Amino acid sequence: MSPPLPDLTHDDYTIACICPMGVELAAVEGMMDEQHPNLPSSIDKNTYTFGRMGAHNIVVAVMPEAGNDRAAAVATQLSNDFQSIKFSLLIGVGGGIPDLARDIDIRLGDVVVSRPSNRFGGVVQFDRGKDHSYNQFERTGMLQKPPDILLSTVQRLEALHARVDSRIPVFLEEMLARFPKMRKRNYVYQGATKDQLFQIEYEHIGATDCGDCDSSQTVEREVRDDSTPVIHYGTIGSSNVVIRDSVKREILKADLGILCVEMEAAGLINNFPCLVIRGICDYADSHKNKAWQPYAAATAAGHLYVTGEDTGG
């Protein structure tokens, strides 16, 4: 029989996490070592989940819908409700932007973590150009870097993962052992044959999946030894614009040097400093679909656990 959970208050929660969608919330909940009952409150506007990961008590807020504006509202309320938060993270899925010319071989299920560069603080906000043309984007704001406590963790983990693989697969297997149903919900690796990066000029054909697409139009990439997700560190692009076009993706890569695109971080960071962790579920092109979302959410949640484990309590 498990020991009774301690009586906890808002002040006992030291990690805050925001998930844009339910598919990501399920992965984060699945990674928890224990889940806690809801806290009584008559003022919370957000929907929260509570639990423990390692040594940390964590509160998770899920957004009612995607987008930077919604993210800002959720983050503001979360900050008001929980005064003892030591660090915060945005966990979700994103569209990957490989750059094979620079040996940035991003695959589906890999993880991208926001890290400052000489140009940006880890996340750059962009939007369509003033003339809303097909292939023009512009930066629309300066965003803060993550808190120092998380940047120190990023540096340590990057050094560690240069030597050894991430422990994400260990945490994934533990999650699936606790919740076998998640296997049927695709929170597992989808297979290398389903990870197809198509040539820039090749448009999607057919229904949701790429069953009718010409496999000879895929980019040839080196075969990986195993399915362990690779962790990439760099700049993440954030916008209310959905990118599902490989030409636009390549323009953003050339202009901003970003590793992935998403739709929430820019709404958070200046008022809710956090680290952004994104599991890669598509390549931001016309072949975009939801097949890899659960697994990508799981790898991002696994890296959340790794980050919390390495960050002081």
- Collapsing DSSP to helix, strand or coil, 165 comes out as coil
**Stretch 58-82: mean pLDDT:** 90
CB 292, CB 281: distance < 8 Å:
yes
Residues with Cβ within 8 Å of residue 288, at least 6 apart in sequence: 95, 244, 282
The letter for the amino acid at 205 is I
Contact 290, 93 (CB under 8 A): no
* HEC string for 173-231: HHHHHHCCHHHHCCCCCCCHHHCCCECCCCCCCCCCCCCCCCHHHECCCCCCCCCCCCE
Question: What is the model's pLDDT at position 1?
Answer: 46
Residues 104-116: pLDDT tens digits? 999 999 999 999 9
SS3 percent helix, strand, coil of the chain, rounded to 5, is 30, 20, 45
pLDDT score of 153 more than 60: yes
Q: Which residues pair with 127 in a beta bridge?
A: 138
Instruction: Supply the pLDDT for residue 198.
Output: 76
Q: Do residues 76 and 268 lie in contact, with contact meaning Cβ atoms separated by under 8 Å?
A: no
- Per-residue pLDDT, averaged over 97-110, amounts to 96
Mean pLDDT value of segment 21-25: 97
* Residue 139: per-residue pLDDT: 76
Rounded CA gap, 238 and 207, in Å? 28
Element of type H or E holding 69? helix 68-81
Give the pLDDT mean for 125-152.
Answer: 75
pLDDT above 50 (res 130): no
pLDDT computed for residue 179 by the predictor: 98
Cα separation, 253 vs 290, in Å, equals 23
User: pLDDT tens digits for 223-243?
Assistant: 999 999 999 999 999 998 889
128 pLDDT higher than 60: no
pTM of the model: 0.94
Give the containing element (helix H, strand E) for 17.
strand 15-19
How many residues are recorded in the chain? Answer: 313
Residue 276, beta-bridge partner list: 90
**What confidence tens digit (pLDDT) does each residue in 243-292 have?**
999 999 999 999 999 999 999 999 888 888 999 999 999 999 878 889 99
Structural contact between residues 301 and 179, judged by C-beta atoms closer than 8 angstroms: no
